[in-house]
Every structure is written in structure tokens, then in C-alpha cells.
Amino acid sequence: MTHYVQVINGEVKNCWDSAPPAGQEGWRSAIEVKPTIIPHRQYYTTHHFDISKNPVEIVWSVADISVADRKNGWIQNLNFESTMEENRQQMANESDPEKLEAILTKNTPKIAAIEAATTHDALDALL
């Protein structure tokens, strides 16, 4: 996708992802430069502009996801399933402890496996 940046006095003042407004000076074409990330292990963070290039480059930075953060996210998602069922039952004014127990029975070994993992490779093996 083509972007446009407005460079005034050597600084980026505006950035658009469509044609810039007419009558304003300093607009230049720009492209995003996104390094390849490792899925489930990295994510894009901030960006900076390299105005020495033509087109201007919008360069994205990458950060690593820790094993602990991945584990916590997965466990939260699994726990969320039982919380949602509890909330659904309360709103419907019903009680089905067997259904809740089935969710916990299904998710307990998954949570144990996640907690036992110590590396990204071990977590990837659980996908």
C-alpha cells in the first residue's frame, strides 16, 4: 500500500494512507518496511521514518514475546472459557455444574502442559 508523508524542515509532520490534500507542500510517497517476524514469538512495535530514502521508508521495529507471556495468554484464554460459561448460566438463571466440570476437565491437562513448557519450541509443539 502506498503511503504519503509530509516532510517539513527535515521532519515528518503528517502521514496519510490515501492521496494527500491538495495545496499543501512537502508531501512525498512512502512505503512500509516490515521485517519478517517469527509467528507467536515476535510482534511489531514502533516505527520511524527514513526520510533520506525515496520513497520515504516507514521502518517498523520488532520485539520478542517471552515464553512466560505466551503461556499466560494461553492460560487466560482457557480460563476465560469456563468464566464465560459461568456468566452465561447466571444470566440464563440456570445451573449446569456438569457442563462447567466438562470444560475444566478438558482444559486442566492443556493448562498443565502449557505450564510445563519452558521454551517456545515446547509451546509450538502444543499448537
Same domain, 77 and 118: yes
Same domain, 38 and 76: no
Same domain, 42 and 58: yes
- What is the extent of the structural domain holding 44? 3-64
Last residue of a domain, one of 12, 40, 64: 64
Residue 98 has pLDDT above 80, yes or no: yes
Last residue of a domain, one of 32, 47, 64: 64
Query: Of 41, 12, 44, nearest to 26 (Cα)?
Result: 12
Same domain, 71 and 110: yes
Contact 67, 41 (CB under 8 A): no
- Provide the domain count of the chain: 2
Same domain, 54 and 76: no
Last residue of a domain, one of 43, 64, 85: 64
Same domain, 18 and 56: yes
Same domain, 47 and 92: no
Same domain, 60 and 75: no
Q: Grid coordinates standing for 102?
A: 466438562
| For the chain, percent of residues with pLDDT exceeding 90 | 84
Same domain, 40 and 82: no
Q: What is the pLDDT of residues 28-77, one digit of tens each?
A: 999 999 999 999 999 999 999 999 999 999 999 999 999 999 999 999 99
pTM for the full model?
Answer: 0.73
Query: What is the C-alpha separation between 85 and 96, in angstroms, rounded?
Result: 9
